[in-house]
Amino acid sequence: MGPKEAGRENMNQEVRNVKKKWWIALCSSLLLLTSLAITAKGATVFWEPMTYYNSQTWEMANGYSNGNMFNCTWRANNATFTNDGKLRLALTSPSYNKFDCAEYRSKFTAGYGLYEVNMKPAKNVGIVSSFFTYTGPTDGTPWDEIDIEFLGKDTTKVQFNYFTNGVGGNEKVIDLGFDASQSYHTYAFDWQPDSITWYVDGVAKHRATKNIPKTPGKIMMNIWNGTGVDSWLGSYNGANPLYAYYDWVRYTSN
């Protein structure tokens, strides 16, 4: 290759590099736009694919434990993103009989409306994979919570639950007709002032109408192993690493 040809090739390579950087920047901008709230027919819609860590919208619990029935410590590095664009929450063991888990939550709070997640929970006795809204004393509010929980001991079922000012006892276990740990499905709840209706793949599965929570909360996802709650979760056997996967999250206000 002569000097002219080499120079021309170097110039072409520089152009390709510029185009590549421009394309990456454009894609990143489009991803950011997907997470912005938009208004349609009076409703606020928040939708975000779980392809990367958007620190403007989400945060990772790190360096502490909820205690009581939670037998692990939240670690930010246990929330990662897969090459095919999924949020992966991990339950791991850094040393014998010690466990790290993961929690991912919104920086904003949301109230009445439709909450949806496309996810695949972990399968193993003694653990929980979840999607829920929460607010409580650490936020200076009453404890209000609405749950979609997968008990790893039997992922052919899903548990729905809610707390109003700390009062729970509203568990409802639903047979799915499939193993949730084997493929992605969409789970949702529609929270209204007088009711909560839970859905699986767009089909209503359960409705609650008594003592409905009213305090806006954060949108949250986590995976953790239990202790002292064997009658509920089964006895955790120490198996790890275990993973729950989340494809996308959407919230549509009233």
Can 145 be counted among the known catalytic residues?
Answer: yes
* Longest alpha-carbon distance in the chain: 82
**Is 176 exposed, middle or buried, given 0-12, 13-18 or 19+ CB atoms closer than 10 A?**
middle
Q: Percentage of the chain with pLDDT > 70?
A: 84
Contact 88, 245 (CB under 8 A): yes
Can 149 be counted among the known catalytic residues?
Answer: yes
For 104-148, what is each residue's pLDDT tens digit?
999 999 999 999 999 999 999 999 999 999 999 999 999 999 999
Contact 149, 121 (CB under 8 A): no
Characterize the bridge pairing of strands 185-192 and 195-200.
Answer: antiparallel
Q: Mean pLDDT across the stretch 206-215?
A: 98
Write down the catalytic residue from 48, 116, 145, 171. 145
Could you tell me which residues come within 8 angstroms of residue 16 by beta carbon, excluding any fewer than 6 positions away?
none
Write down the catalytic residue from 48, 103, 116, 149. 149
- Quote the CA–CA distance of 174 and 151 in Å, as a whole number: 12
**Is 79 exposed, middle or buried, given 0-12, 13-18 or 19+ CB atoms closer than 10 A?**
buried
Query: What pTM, to 2 d.p., does this model score?
Result: 0.85
Q: Would you say domain 37-253 falls under CATH 2.60.120.200?
A: yes
Distances (CA, A) of 73 to 27, 63, 70, 219, 243: 34, 6, 8, 20, 15
State the CB neighbour count (10 A cutoff) for residue 48.
Answer: 21
Residue 35's nearest CA partner among 18, 62, 55, 17 is: 55
Characterize the bridge pairing of strands 87-95 and 79-81.
Answer: antiparallel
Contact 164, 170 (CB under 8 A): no
For 166-200, what is each residue's pLDDT tens digit?
999 999 999 999 999 999 999 999 999 999 999 99
- The domain locations on the chain are 1-34, 37-253
Model pLDDT, residue 42: 77
- Quote the CA–CA distance of 147 and 134 in Å, as a whole number: 9
Instruction: Tell me the DSSP string of 94-106.
Output: EETTEEEEEEEEE
pLDDT at residue 70 tops 60:
yes
